[in-house]
């Protein structure tokens, strides 16, 4: 039996990981999970509240949720999965290795101005809190993560219509089988 290759979407906040991921899963009849939503469910707190407790703590919890998901027997049995990750998951090289081991990692590359338009001053985006310029903050975060995103997986232009972005992603990802 061939190995199931799940799809992991990585990229900056506002890059469309959840929107595009849901669309791909729905169009192809696959299971979808948003790791940030799963983290909130498991810990009973909003991401913003967890990040306010400290980003290092949040990254540890994020790692634990990824590990829990990947080691759940249902992961392989129900796969392939389409997985939307948190924007900073690539900052831990072990996370990247684990995702690459079981799937294809696709980086949704979106222009900073477009990211700022999409996320604006959303209070649910704690890394943007307290800065007068979302563009400046997003540019700083992107500069810190750029290499990690590019090393994590295939870069896809994430600008534009989510349906078109989903089509571009599917062109570089083919699971071993679909239900």
Domain count, the chain: 1
- Tell me whether residue 27 is in a domain: yes
- Tell me whether residue 154 is in a domain: yes
Q: How many angstroms separate the CA atoms of 165 and 20, rounded?
A: 7
Q: State residue 122 phi and psi, 5-degree precision.
A: -60, 120
- Tell me whether residue 174 is in a domain: no
pLDDT score recorded for residue 177: 44
Q: Where is average pLDDT lowest: 40-54, 130-144, 145-159? A: 130-144
pLDDT score recorded for residue 151: 94
pLDDT score recorded for residue 76: 67
- Beta partners for 34? 84
CATH classification at residue 52: 3.40.50.300
- Tell me whether residue 1 is in a domain: no
pLDDT band at residue 170 under the 50/70/90 scheme: very high
| In 7-122, alpha helices (H) | 17-28, 35-43, 47-52, 55-71, 73-78, 93-102, 112-119
Q: How many angstroms separate the CA atoms of 109 and 11, rounded?
A: 6
pLDDT score recorded for residue 178: 42
Does the pLDDT value for residue 124 go beyond 70?
Answer: no
Q: Where is average pLDDT lowest: 31-40, 91-100, 132-141? A: 132-141
What's the pLDDT tens digit per position in 17-66? Answer: 999 999 999 999 999 999 999 999 999 999 888 988 998 999 999 999 99
- Tell me whether residue 145 is in a domain: yes
- Tell me whether residue 106 is in a domain: yes
Per-residue CA distances from 179 to 76, 79, 81 (Å)? 13, 9, 11
Provide DSSP, 115-152: HHHHHTT-TT-GGGTT-S-HHHHHHHHHHHHHHHHHHH
Token pair recorded at residue 113: 């101005």
Does the pLDDT value for residue 163 go beyond 50?
Answer: yes
Q: Which residue has the higher pLDDT, 73 or 51?
A: 51
Structural domain for 38, as ranges:
6-167
Distant-in-sequence contacts of 88-93, Cβ < 8 A, 24+ apart: 88/55, 88/59, 88/62, 88/145, 89/10, 89/35, 89/62, 90/10, 90/145, 90/148, 90/149, 90/151, 90/152, 91/59, 91/144, 91/145, 91/148, 92/59, 92/62, 92/63, 93/148
Which three-class secondary structure state does DSSP give residue 156? strand
pLDDT band at residue 152 under the 50/70/90 scheme: very high
- Tell me whether residue 62 is in a domain: yes
Q: Which residue has the higher pLDDT, 11 or 1?
A: 11
Q: State residue 34 phi and psi, 5-degree precision.
A: -105, 115
- Tell me whether residue 75 is in a domain: yes
pLDDT score recorded for residue 67: 92
Q: Which residue has the higher pLDDT, 45 or 5?
A: 45
């Amino acid at each position: 039996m061939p190995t199931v290759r799940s799809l992991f979407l990585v990229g900056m906040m506002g890059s469309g990981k959840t929107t595009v991921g849901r669309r791909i899963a729905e169009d192809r009849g696959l299971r979808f999970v948003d790791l940030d939503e799963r983290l909130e469910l498991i810990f009973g707190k909003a991401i913003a509240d967890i990040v306010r407790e400290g980003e290092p703590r949040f990254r540890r919890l994020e790692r634990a949720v990824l590990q829990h998901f990947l080691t759940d027997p249902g992961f392989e049995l129900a796969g392939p999965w389409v997985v939307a990750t948190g924007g900073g998951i690539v900052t831990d090289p072990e996370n990247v290795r684990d995702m690459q081991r079981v799937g294809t990692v696709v980086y949704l590359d979106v222009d900073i101005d477009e990211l700022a338009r999409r996320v604006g001053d959303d209070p649910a985006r704690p890394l943007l809190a307290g800065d007068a310029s979302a563009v400046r903050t997003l540019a700083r975060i992107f500069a810190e993560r750029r290499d990690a995103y590019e090393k994590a997986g295939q870069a896809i232009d994430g600008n534009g219509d989510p349906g078109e972005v989903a089509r571009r992603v599917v062109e570089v990802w083919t699971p071993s089988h679909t239900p």
